[in-house]
Amino acid sequence: MDEKQEHSGENGADLHVHTVYSDGLLSPSEMVDRARDGGLAALGVTDHDTVDGIAEALRSGAGAGIEVVPGVELSSQYNGKDVHIIGYYIDPSCGELMNYLKLFRDERFRRAEKMIRTLNSRGVDIRIDEVEAKSRGRCIGRPHIAEVLMDRGYVETIQSAFNKYIGYGAEAYEEKYKLHPDEAIRLISESKGLSFLAHPGAAISETVITNFVKSGLDGVEVVHPFLPPHRRKQLHALAVRMGLLMSGGSDCHGGRDGQFLVGRHQVPYAYLTRIREAYRLRYGALPGDGAGFQEPA
């Protein structure tokens, strides 16, 4: 099956979305409803550095007839660049992974505090409790700071908040806690998951991807709003050549970017079938095959 054939048809899978449990605007249940309304067969819930929304998504998916793929998107850095690694079907009973996720959420809070202190010193009057309210007490991210900046009238759009205040190189930007991609891949493997390189742009060379594969990377996203058609073709060809699993999706944050993208950037359901087959071959039954997904303690 060639790339054109694989990217045609309906009732596919969007394997990369975010909910209110990280930096999205919709609850897991609301995201599942949108996926159902969009005619999707499967939805991957991959919140940043948290699995807290997965149990709700699975319950909603069962009621809506949508297959929910439990996942998490881990933030890492490689040669000074952000690299995101998605883990599918991770086991939330894995203590090491859960310890890392707690550490990362704590570091996100401290990072937000630093940025707010810098903004305050420059006459921008916002408070950490306002940002916490935007995150609903969950995993704080820069988009939550951007929302408060909009509410207070300092900027008109999320993007302008990043450009002026909190984006890379902006006056209040703070580096995030650094995790090497190899460590992210290891954590996912230790938690009985499959690891995928998220939205690898042109700056991520084939050599870099090869190195990640040597560290245990299982697959790569070949569909994403940030990936132009020629890059998607490159990644598809690379995955076929290297025997990698393929994934992809909308990276939908529930309309935070002004558009609701779920289902508009999807992959064939056959991709998910291969992911499940690879999981069962390595680990046995999927988390939802019998025992179900247990919420972390």
Q: Contact 142/162 with Cβ under 8 angstroms?
A: yes
Give residue 81's pLDDT.
86
Q: Region 200-216: what's the mean pLDDT?
A: 96
pLDDT at 288 over 70: no
pLDDT at 243 over 80: yes
Phi, psi values for residue 196, rounded to 5°:
-135, 140
Three-state SS at 174 = coil
Phi, psi values for residue 107, rounded to 5°:
-70, -35
**Full-model pTM:** 0.86
Cα–Cα distance, 143 to 145 (Å, whole number): 5
CA distances from 37 to 13, 19, 20, 255 (A): 13, 17, 19, 15
Q: Contact 179/84 with Cβ under 8 angstroms?
A: no
Q: Region 196-205: what's the mean pLDDT?
A: 95
Q: Which amino acid is at 96?
A: E
pLDDT at 253 over 60: yes
Give residue 285's pLDDT.
87
Quick one: CATH architecture of 11-92+179-283? Answer: Alpha-Beta Barrel (3.20)
Quick one: CATH architecture of 101-166? Answer: Orthogonal Bundle (1.10)
Q: How many other C-beta atoms can be found within 10 angstroms of the C-beta atom of residue 19? A: 28
Q: Contact 76/184 with Cβ under 8 angstroms?
A: yes
pLDDT at 3 over 50: no
| Interior/surface letters 262-289, b for 16+ CB within 10 angstroms, e for the rest | bbebbbbbebbeebbebbeeeeeebbbe
Give residue 6's pLDDT.
43
Question: DSSP state, 252?
Answer: B
Show the tokens assigned to 256: 């935070």
Instruction: Output the furthest CA–CA distance in the chain (Å, rounded).
Output: 58
pLDDT at 137 over 80: no
Tell me the domain boundaries of the chain. 11-92+179-283, 101-166
Q: Would you place residue 178 in the very low, low, confident or very high pLDDT band (cuts 50, 70, 90)?
A: confident
